[in-house]
Amino acid sequence: MATTRMALRMALAIVLASAASAKKPIPRGCPTGTPNNTYANPALPLPYDGYLPAIDNETMFLHNTRHAGGAVNNVNAILARYPTLRDSVSLSELVSRIGLKTFDKKYGIAANDSTALRSNAGSAINHALFWRIMTTYNTSRPADHLKPELAGHIAAAWGSPTGLLDALRAAGASVFGSGWAWLVYFPDAAQKPLAIVTTPNQDNPLMAAHVARASRGVPLLGVDVWEHAYYLRYRNLRTTYLAQWVSLVDWAMVQRNYDLAVAGAIDSLYC
């Protein structure tokens, strides 16, 4: 019952976003759309060396331009074969629905392309969120940005923002192989509103076809635990990377993402 209502509300948010897009240009989500409905790899808010000492210059450069940029190129190459899909579905809607039989059938998406979109559109949206959720090391204070409602939910679940980050670090450390750890918002009022979940590879918590119901929600904050995110500086020491990474979290963005998620403005989350 609870999960059904959540599915309905998420579907409603998607439908509302689609209806709104009938008049205005399609909300592409980020990476932002270019005139020909291809996606651009989003630039970092800070210079590549702006994330020190947590993340080094070369890692940020390679991560943004090569790893994430490569996925964006792959998405564009695949979508060139599906112009209706490309021109009518935003990135967050694509990520939410890719792999659902009804969706793949509606747009005639071949099984191999569905699999490739799961990975590459997943990567595009995951990294779009990741770039936006980080700011200058040790400068963002939760108390300066969290409004009472969100602060209350965090306190109820983890005691404090530090408790939340401790749980996020533990979740990130627990991922076997490549993946992500997330703070997600569940739109269903009957559920607890926030949880920390993990996804393998480039899966995103929005993915209805690929993510278990208990982990399916709107990502507000995500940390990349693929080796490409940390190996140059930290080698195999993922937990050391995570301990440093949490000092990059931009709490103003966490509050912004929460406000957008509560409003059902999923397309705006990653821009």
Q: Does 36 bind ligand NAG (CB under 6 A)?
A: yes
| Footprint (CB under 6 A) of ligand NAG, residues 110-139 | 110, 112-113, 116, 138
CB of 242 to Fe ion, least distance (A): 14
Closest listed residue to residue 220, CA positions, set 187, 265, 183: 183
Q: Which does 113 bind (CB under 5 to 8 A by kind): ligand NAG, Fe ion, none?
A: ligand NAG
Asked if 165 and 249 touch (Cβ cutoff 8 Å), the reply is yes
- The verdict on whether residue 63 carries a ligand-binding annotation is yes
The residues that bridge with 182 in the sheet, in sequence order, are: 197, 222
How far is the C-alpha of 189 from the C-alpha of 7, rounded, in Å?
Answer: 12
Q: Which does 87 bind (CB under 5 to 8 A by kind): ligand NAG, Fe ion, none?
A: none
Report which of 80, 119, 67, 72 is spatially closest to residue 98, judged by C-alpha positions: 119
Lookup result for tokens 């392309």:
113
Nearer to ligand NAG, 91 or 246 (CB): 246
Do the annotations mark residue 228 as ligand-binding? yes
The entry of Fe ion, ligand NAG, none that residue 84 binds, CB within 5 to 8 Å by partner kind: none
Q: Name the packing angle between helices 148-158 and 251-262 (round to 10°).
A: 100
| Residue 61 interacts with ligand NAG (CB under 6 A): yes or no | yes
Q: Is 10 helix (H, G, I), strand (E, B) or coil?
A: helix
* Min dist. Cβ of residue 257 to Fe ion (A): 19
For residue 75, state whether it binds ligand NAG (rule: CB under 6 A). no
Instruction: Give the single-character DSSP code of 267.
Output: G
Tell whether residue 250 is among the known ligand binding residues. no
Look up residue 76 and give its two tokens. 């564009």
145 in a known ligand binding site: no
Strand, coil or helix: 271: coil
Closest contact distance (angstroms) between CB of 11 and Fe ion is: 29
Determine which residue in the list 224, 266, 267, 270 makes contact with Fe ion, applying CB under 5 A: 224
The footprint of Fe ion (CB under 5 A) covers 224, 226
